[in-house]
Amino acid sequence: MHVMIPRRYNGPPTSGNGGWVSGLVAAHTPVSPERPAVSVRLHLPPPLDRELALETGELTTLRDGDAVVASASHAPTPAGDLPQPVTLVEARDAETRAITPQEHPFPTCYGCGPNHPTGLRLRSGPVDDTSGRYAATWTPLDVSGPVVWAALDCPGGKAAGFPTTLMVLGTMTAQIFTAPVAGEEHIVLSWSRGDDGRKRHAASALFTADGRLLARADQTWIAIDPPA
């Protein structure tokens, strides 16, 4: 089958948002009771507004001609303890410490860009304690799988150190337990899982306003050099 990444789902200006693209591939990847999550690896910057081949099977592959853009397979639920959820009041307070539009290297990013006209505009900021958690509020209009993956994506990058360290999404493993409710306010929590050379590991989780877990993800981000 063939798919296309519409330009409105960009991350950097000329390539797809890593979370949205991963969610698109995940939607076509079979899972099992033993491995109910999907792990997606991004091999290349996903091209926009171009017909791409999506090959399904035990390994789902997204191709641009002969080049592999992304690959995915089923995986266990992301492991590890979840940090304590925050309240809406705490999440809104954390947003006051989010990066400014002037500090954002990709201000039109679909997931977190303040200048994207129809994006999610997630403003993850550090929670006001010593836990290292980041939080943002989100009131979805679209609750499709790729959009939920996008909502889990950028907050993880902030917890991993973006944009102090410029980085791109390398892999993302996620599971949606229950879809969010359109029009209701939710909370996205994220936290660092440590560094390994150029790799930055992070995790994120989506909660209802009263703290019920809806989805979670683990991510590996790759530090890149700033453009010359």
pLDDT in tens, 35-90: 999 999 999 999 999 999 999 988 999 999 999 999 999 999 998 889 999 999 99
Q: Is residue 114 a contact partner of residue 104, using CB atoms and an 8 Å limit?
A: yes
Count Cβ atoms below 10 Å from residue 102 Cβ, excluding itself: 7
Tokens (6 digits) for 187: 């909370």
Q: With 80 as the cut, is the pLDDT of residue 176 above it? A: yes
Q: What element of type H or E holds 219?
A: strand 213-223
Identical topology for domains 2-75 and 88-223: yes
Q: What is the mean pLDDT of residues 196-213?
A: 95
In what order do the strands lie in the sheet containing 167-176?
2-4, 51-55, 60-64, 67-75, 37-42, 167-176, 213-223, 199-208, 186-196, 134-138, 125-126
Query: How confident is the prediction for the chain on average, in pLDDT?
Result: 95
Is pLDDT above 80 for 226?
Answer: no
| Per-domain residue ranges of the chain | 2-75, 88-223
pLDDT at 228: 57
pLDDT at 210 over 70: yes
**Residue range 2-75, CATH number:** 3.10.129.10
What is the CATH code for 88-223?
3.10.129.10
Residues found in the chain: 228
- Residue pair 213/177 in contact (Cβ under 8 Å)? The answer is yes
